[in-house]
Chains A and B, each alone.
Chain A
Amino acid sequence: KQEVTQIPAALSVPEGENLVLNCSFTDSAIYNLQWFRQDPGKGLTSLLLIQSSQREQTSGRLNASLDKSSGRSTLYIAASQPGDSATYLCAVNWNAGNMLTFGGGTRLMVKP
């Protein structure tokens, strides 16, 4: 069964820390992987999309890496800020149809 797991489920860090969020998936034959941010009561905002042929993608203070062979992706957030507090979701697409399978998310709190 194709599954996506995110650990830890919750994380609290002081402002300014660099942090890494983890995502693992059971089948390495992915098409692409997408990281999202979700604020309480809101929709999902796309952060980064990594195609299967790519190793990483960067956007501002965010860097996502992909290691298909080990079934892992990480989202690196540099110099965290209170405004980064949200739930971060990893989603894997195992076929060209772009049907996403989501992890359970990591709820991040950045304390001032």
Chain B
Amino acid sequence: DAGVIQSPRHEVTEMGQEVTLRCKPISGHNSLFWYRQTMMRGLELLIYFNNNVPIDDSGMPEDRFSAKMPNASFSTLKIQPSEPRDSAVYFCASSFVTGAEAFFGQGTRLTVV
């Protein structure tokens, strides 16, 4: 398996623009997670899906952030409108079953100017 695949790897956008980050989890994994990493706050969980259903979105910072998982092999994280303080590395992770090892993608480095 190719692992968790994220796209794009890098994204530079202007403030106010819509940004969509994409993730393909490992085939067969039923849990998917979006994390954000910044120098100031480290790694933080944004949202967690189980069997394509959002279970916990308490980490989503604002209504400008939204995430979807239309099927077991694809998820998106959207920021609309984007702001400079959204600049960070966004990671997607998946795991096979509850309590199993989590596998991370390579991340998307987002820069909002």
Partners in one complex: yes
Hey, which bits of chain A sit against chain B, CB under 8 A?
31-32, 34, 36, 41-46, 49, 51, 89, 91, 93, 96-105
Q: Which residue of A lies closest to B100 (CB)?
A: A98
Is there a chain A Cβ closer than 8 Å to B25's Cβ?
no
Inter-chain CA distance A34–B103, complex, in Å, is 11
Asked if B42 and A46 sit within 8 Å, CB to CB, the answer is no
Hey, which bits of chain B sit against chain A, CB under 8 A?
31, 33, 35, 42-45, 48, 50, 55-56, 91, 93, 95, 98-107, 109
A-B pairs with beta carbons under 8 Å apart, 18 shown = A31-B99, A34-B102, A41-B109, A42-B107, A44-B91, A46-B101, A46-B104, A93-B99, A96-B98, A97-B31, A97-B50, A98-B31, A98-B102, A100-B33, A100-B43, A101-B45, A102-B43, A104-B42
